[in-house]
């Protein structure tokens, strides 16, 4: 009986340590999500780079939603992808599209990233990977990147989770219209624009 109690306590201790560490890798018990075109899109929400709650429900049925997941702020591919969406926003907005980027970075890091690139769309902080898992996006360990702050001083930024680079286009009907798991960062906005054009012709 004593041995069983010790094992039980040890199990609880390990579980507690995992929670405190904020582990982001999926466990064997996590449900596997494999969304396909035509499937209902999960309702989602998150805190944006301004510290405000952003909800997909505010746009459902009225707008196309481009939801793109990316590994981390201030990394080369992610900079190119964000700049491309920034430069294509006028074209997308005219077609009733809203764009939202998601990574495992904090709200503070997102605010720096958006300001440094002059982004014209929100970024959501998904620090524990929960939002990514709703869409089946792989979630890995965190990381860090070295950059400079607004005054030009070097800073090292930490993120608690690293998300795979996947892009979804959600239709006005609330369903997944497009899923891309092999994203070319610089060409992603063109791919999305082509998808929207086809949806508009239906």
- Each residue's pLDDT tens digit in the chain (202 positions)? 333 333 333 333 333 333 333 333 344 345 688 899 999 999 999 999 999 999 999 998 899 999 999 999 999 999 999 999 999 999 999 999 999 999 999 999 999 999 999 999 999 999 999 999 999 999 999 988 888 877 788 989 999 999 999 999 999 999 999 999 999 999 999 999 999 999 998 7
Residue positions annotated with a catalytic role: 78
Q: Residue 162, SS3?
A: strand
Dist CA 23 CA 13 (whole Å): 15
Q: Are 158 and 144 in contact (CB under 8 A)?
A: yes
Of residues 111, 136, 110, the one with CA closest to residue 34 = 136
Q: Does domain 33-201 have CATH number 1.10.460.10?
A: no
CA angle 167, 181, 59 (to 5 degrees): 20
pLDDT at 31: 63
Reported pTM: 0.84
What residue has token string 């999305």? Answer: 192
Q: Phi/psi of residue 11, each to 5°?
A: -65, -45
């Amino acid at each position: 009986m004593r041995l069983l109690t010790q094992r039980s306590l040890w199990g609880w201790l390990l579980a507690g340590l995992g929670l405190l560490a904020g582990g982001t890798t999926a466990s064997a018990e996590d449900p596997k999500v494999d969304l396909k075109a035509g499937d209902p899109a999960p309702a989602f929400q998150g805190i944006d780079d301004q510290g405000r709650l952003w909800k997909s429900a505010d746009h459902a049925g009225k707008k196309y939603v481009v939801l793109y997941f990316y590994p981390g702020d201030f990394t080369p591919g992610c900079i190119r992808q964000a700049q491309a969406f920034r430069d294509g926003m006028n074209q997308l907005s005219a077609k009733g599209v809203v764009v939202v980027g998601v990574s495992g970075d904090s709200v503070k890091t997102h605010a720096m990233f958006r300001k440094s690139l002059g982004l014209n769309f929100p970024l959501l902080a998904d620090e524990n990977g929960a939002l990514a898992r709703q869409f089946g996006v792989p979630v890995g360990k965190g990381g860090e990147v070295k950059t400079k702050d607004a005054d030009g001083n070097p800073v090292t930024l930490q993120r608690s989770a690293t998300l795979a680079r996947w892009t979804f286009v959600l239709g006005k009907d609330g369903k997944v219209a497009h899923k891309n798991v092999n994203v070319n960062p610089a060409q992603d906005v063109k791919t999305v624009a082509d998808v929207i054009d086809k949806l508009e012709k239906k």
